[in-house]
Every structure is written in structure tokens, then in C-alpha cells.
């Protein structure tokens, strides 16, 4: 049985300025998106369609806005609607924490739809470009969760070699679910998706693979992650994260079937 190292959440202190590890993970995720996006420009069809490095930077800017706004609103609507309905001004209290991946995904979809229309490019072509560059950022985010000792797992058997005690969660050994999600939704999804996207694919196939892959992996990881204390397990013994992942899987399968009907692979 292991003990969580209890990292200092502040990575760097310069006078009154405190830079948190979680913020550094976000910055590292943005940097990796730019690096991977520029490599993605070498893949078809982007290499022959005139995509430029500045497109990667534009997508990152609007994507970050989508993540922040969508992630915050998603948390408010999916996880604590009654709390924020009673105190709506707290929606803007982002320093209190509270972000939702699924809300952030919806925010990115809308932001990319706006950018695609502005650039007169097919929306699914843009999403196919973005999808393989995302999992590394998700992996870094889970490392930030682990450093902060938050979003810990459910109680684990004491003889599980990697079971870990998170002091903030009490004395019980738990699954380090942040690391499970780091490995599944982050590294494994990235490797599979990047390898898949390197070859020409029909429009929508890469996006479909991301939706299905993330949805399945998140659904599985949630069995080891402690449900939100104020929600617990919902209908059929599933967590909110699992219920929100199911539409992703359905949408991914539907998009895949639609994309496979396209006669010509780009």
C-alpha cells in the first residue's frame, strides 16, 4: 500500500506570484497541441489543402476559449445545477474550481464550428485535424489531478500493490484513478488515434474514433474513480461521468457508420 506523495500544488513561487502545477500542465498541453498540430499538417489531406502553421495557432486560441467556457458551464449544468441556480453569481467564481470535460468538449465543438465557417472549411475536416492532438493534453491534465491529490479512486483491496492512500480522502487505500485515466484516455488513446490518423481517412472517421475511444475508456475508468460526493452513483449504478460518456460512444458509432458510406477516402 502506497501513500500519496502530497506534492506542494505550487510549483514556483516568485514573491506574491504562485504558479501551480495544474496551470503548468495546461501550458504544457497547449504547447504539445501546437507541436503535434504542426506535425499533423504533414498528413493528408491537410498537406495538399493549403493548411498553414497559423491555422494551428488559431485553432488553439478558439479551442482554449471553448474548453474554458464549455468546461465551466458544463460543470454548472451537469454537476451542480441547483447550487448555481440558487447562487448564479458563483458561476463566475472559477477560482473555486469546477470544470467538466464533457462540457469542454461541447465548447470546443462549437468553437471549431465557428472557426470552420469563418475559414470556409468543412467542420468535420477541422475536427479530424484536432482529434489526434487532444489526448496528450488530457494525459497532462490527469497528471495535474494526481499532483493535486484530487479526483481519487474508489476504495481498493489492501493487497493491491499500487493501492494508494490519499490523506484528503481518509485512511482507506484507493485506486489511483488519475493514473488510470492518464494511461487510458491520455497515452493509449493518443497512440491509437495518431497511428490511425497518419493515413488518409474518410471525413469524420478520425473524429468518430476519438468520440468512441474516449467514451469507452472514460466509461471503464469511472468504475475505479470515486463518484462526486454530492451526486454519488445514479441510475443503474453508473456515475455522472459514465452517463455523459454514453452519448459520446453512440455519437461516435453513428458518425463512423455515416463516414463509412462516403465512397472516396481523402
Q: Is there a domain that residue 30 lies in?
A: yes
pLDDT in tens, 25-64: 989 999 999 999 999 999 988 999 989 999 999 999 999 9
Q: Is there a domain that residue 33 lies in?
A: yes
pLDDT at 97: 67
Q: Is there a domain that residue 233 lies in?
A: yes
Domain that holds residue 70: 2-260
Q: Is there a domain that residue 24 lies in?
A: yes
pLDDT at 198: 92
| Arithmetic mean of pLDDT, 235-243 | 95
- Comparing CA positions, the residue from 64, 88, 65 lying closest to residue 76 is 88
For the whole model, what pTM was predicted? 0.91
**How much of the chain, in percent, has pLDDT values that exceed 90?**
71
Q: Look at residue 180 and tell me whether its pLDDT is greater than 90.
A: yes
**In contact, 248 and 215? CB cutoff 8 Å:** yes
Q: Is there a domain that residue 265 lies in?
A: no
**In contact, 233 and 189? CB cutoff 8 Å:** no
Greater pLDDT, 147 or 14: 147
Residue 203 region, left (φ>0) first, then alpha (ψ -120 to 50), else beta? beta
Question: Out of 4-13, 111-120, 232-241, which region has the weakest mean confidence (pLDDT)?
Answer: 4-13
Q: Is there a domain that residue 123 lies in?
A: yes
Confidence of residue 23 (pLDDT cuts 50, 70, 90): confident
Q: Is there a domain that residue 28 lies in?
A: yes
Backbone angles phi, psi at 157, to 5 degrees: -60, 135
Q: Is there a domain that residue 266 lies in?
A: no
pLDDT at 266: 47
Q: Is 54 annotated as a binding residue?
A: no
Greater pLDDT, 86 or 144: 144
User: Do the bridges between strand 2-3 and strand 164-165 make them parallel or antiparallel, or are there none, so unpaired?
Assistant: parallel
Average pLDDT, the chain: 91
Provide the grid cell at 53: 502553421
pLDDT at 25: 92
Q: Look at residue 228 and tell me whether its pLDDT is greater than 80.
A: yes
Q: Look at residue 122 and tell me whether its pLDDT is greater than 70.
A: yes
pLDDT at 176: 97
Number of domains in the chain: 1
pLDDT in tens, 63-79: 999 998 988 888 888 88
Amino acid at each position: 500500500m502506497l501513500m500519496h506523495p502530497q506534492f506542494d500544488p505550487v510549483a514556483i513561487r516568485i514573491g506574491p506570484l504562485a504558479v501551480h502545477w495544474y496551470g503548468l500542465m495546461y501550458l504544457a498541453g497547449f504547447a504539445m497541441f501546437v507541436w503535434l498540430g504542426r506535425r499533423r499538417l504533414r498528413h493528408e489531406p491537410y498537406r495538399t489543402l493549403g493548411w498553414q502553421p497559423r491555422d494551428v495557432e488559431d485553432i488553439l486560441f478558439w479551442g482554449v476559449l471553448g474548453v474554458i467556457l464549455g468546461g465551466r458551464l458544463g460543470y454548472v449544468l451537469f454537476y451542480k445545477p441547483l447550487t448555481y441556480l440558487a447562487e448564479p453569481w458563483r458561476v463566475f467564481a472559477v477560482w473555486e474550481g469546477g470544470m467538466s470535460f464533457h462540457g469542454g468538449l461541447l465548447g470546443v465543438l462549437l468553437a471549431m464550428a465557428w472557426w470552420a465557417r469563418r475559414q470556409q472549411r468543412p467542420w468535420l475536416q477541422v475536427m479530424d485535424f484536432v482529434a489526434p492532438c487532444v489526448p496528450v493534453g488530457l494525459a497532462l491534465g490527469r497528471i495535474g489531478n494526481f499532483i493535486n491529490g484530487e479526483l481519487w479512486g474508489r476504495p481498493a483491496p489492501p493487497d493491491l500493490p499500487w493501492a494508494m492512500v490519499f490523506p484528503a480522502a481518509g485512511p482507506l487505500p484507493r485506486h489511483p484513478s488519475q493514473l488510470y485515466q492518464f494511461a487510458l484516455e491520455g497515452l493509449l488513446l493518443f497512440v491509437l488515434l495518431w497511428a490511425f490518423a497518419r493515413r488518409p481517412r474518410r471525413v469524420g472517421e478520425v473524429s468518430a474514433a476519438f468520440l468512441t475511444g474516449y467514451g469507452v475508456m472514460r466509461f471503464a475508468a469511472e468504475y475505479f474513480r470515486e463518484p462526486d460526493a454530492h451526486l454519488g452513483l445514479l441510475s443503474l449504478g453508473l456515475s455522472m461521468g459514465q452517463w455523459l460518456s454514453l452519448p459520446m460512444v453512440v455519437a461516435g458509432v453513428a458518425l463512423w457508420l455515416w463516414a463509412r458510406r462516403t465512397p472516396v477516402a481523402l
